[in-house]
C-alpha cells in the first residue's frame, strides 16, 4: 500500500468520521472502500473511443477536435499579440 493525502472540507471530514465510528473501521478503510465502489459503479470514461463511435456522431457546428484542424490554420496568428499585430522585428508574412 502507498500513503497519500486527501483534502476534505469540514462537512466531508465530519461525514467520514461519522461513518468510520459507526462501522468501527478506520477512516482509511472507509475511503478505500468508497473509491472501489465508485470505480465499480461509474461508467467507463474512455472519451477517445466514444467520440470516434459511429453511434455518437457530432452535431452540426460542434467544435472540431485538435487533430482535425490543419496545421496552417493552427499556426495562423501564432506569435501575434492580442490585437493581431506581429511581434517587433518580425517581417509580415
Query: 16 near 30, Cβ under 8 Å?
Result: yes
pLDDT digits (tens, 9 = 90+) for 2-39: 888 889 999 999 999 999 999 999 999 999 999 998 88
Q: Residue 73: pLDDT band by 50, 70, 90 thresholds?
A: confident
| CA dihedral for 61, 63, 66, 72, sign (positive or negative) | positive
The pLDDT value given to residue 65? 76
| Whole-number pLDDT of residue 64 | 76
In the chain, where are the structural domains located?
10-75
Cα separation, 47 vs 50, in Å, equals: 5
Residue of 86 and 3 predicted with greater confidence: 3
Q: What are phi and psi of 69, to 5 degrees?
A: -95, 125
Percent of the chain with pLDDT over 70: 65
Amino acid at each position: 500500500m502507498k500513503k497519500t493525502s486527501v483534502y476534505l472540507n469540514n462537512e466531508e471530514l465530519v461525514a467520514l468520521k461519522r461513518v468510520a465510528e459507526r462501522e468501527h473501521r478506520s477512516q482509511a478503510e472507509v475511503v478505500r472502500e468508497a473509491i472501489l465502489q465508485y470505480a465499480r459503479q461509474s461508467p467507463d470514461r474512455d472519451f477517445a473511443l466514444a467520440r470516434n463511435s459511429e453511434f455518437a456522431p457530432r452535431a452540426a457546428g460542434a467544435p472540431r477536435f485538435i487533430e482535425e484542424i490543419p496545421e496552417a490554420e493552427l499556426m495562423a496568428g501564432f506569435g501575434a499579440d492580442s490585437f493581431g499585430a506581429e511581434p517587433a522585428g518580425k517581417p509580415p508574412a
